[in-house]
Structure 1
Amino acid sequence: MRDESMKKEKKISKLRKRYNQRKELYRLLKEYAPDILESQNFRSTRNYIQHGTMPVHRHCIDVAQQSILISRFLGIPCSERDLIRGALLHDYFLYDWHDKTRENYQSLHGFYHPGIALKNASREYNLTLREKDIIKKHMWPLTVVPPRCREAWIVTTADKYCSLLETLRLHKGTGKSRVRVTG
């Protein structure tokens, strides 16, 4: 009986820890990127699918959260603000890359979309050098030139991890993102 109660307590403790961790991650998103989260163009990424059934919007939020988790787990000091903002904008290409009528349909999307995302993000936001590096180089090694800052390396890793889960359908998109900004 005592073992059962200890197992239950451990499970509850793990759930509580995970809940608090997610709450902290959402707080960071809202603190560092309310302008991005409120942007009509960023919201429009809910209409585009990234991998499997995952909307680009949800993918970018997941990459931002995984980037923070990787940075903290490995103890890599970095600018969390640049990390989050760069991760949210890394796939800011604003089109459906699955559309067969598009000029750069699928096969070349991986090579070209970082530049398109950077161009779109630069039009709307005053980007730091780190944010630009994150957006431009997140597809390394397809981008040939490797990232220059640790934030870009972290986002590149988080993006590949999230993309793998989405492609293998281990993380399914719902089309809904839980981050809501009010104010």
Structure 2
Amino acid sequence: MLASRRMLLLVLAVPAITLFGFFVWHGTLSPDPTRNHYPGEDELAAGDVEPGNHVSLSGTVTATDLVTIQVTSAHVTHEYAVRDAPDVDEVQQLRLFATYTDDGTLEAHELVVRHAWEATYMYAVSIVAALWILARIFTQWRFDPRSVLFVPASSTTGERPAADTPTANDPTRDEPQAPTSGGGRGG
């Protein structure tokens, strides 16, 4: 156990602050194709992408004759035609890596087609799993402020029993035997 609460708080705070710093730092990075970080929806909508450059973006299919996707960025919606796309249906989601061409279309190199319900299903399953885990934590664990630890809910002191101490659920624990009367059935 750590020597003091200050040391415990320091041990908890340093990784939390570091993680927060990494999130902020990652959010400040600009597109850099040499590191496989390509311009996306925002740069394409702002006109920062030159024809011939690669882009990575996603959108909803709005037309299927010449596959057209609707892309929303910074509350602005644009539509782009996608060449070399497979057969898709309207309302499907496309995530693609493409080349921005001179005529304003996207020449697809790699793409993933998803149905609209797949994202909803993914989030619904994640929420159910998170709620299930939280329910298990709240029903089987409690916070012990004296030791600043989470302990099993059945524990009253926060101390773990010694390895050689039998517990209530231990099948090897010696239990008093009920007295038996002389011998077999009914007798």
**Normalising TM by the smaller chain, what interval?**
under 0.3
Q: Whose relative contact order is higher, 1 or 2, with alpha carbons under 8 Å and at least 6 apart?
A: 1
Bigger helix fraction: 1
- Name the larger-Rg structure: 2
TM-score (norm 1): 0.26
Q: TM-score, normalised by structure 2?
A: 0.25
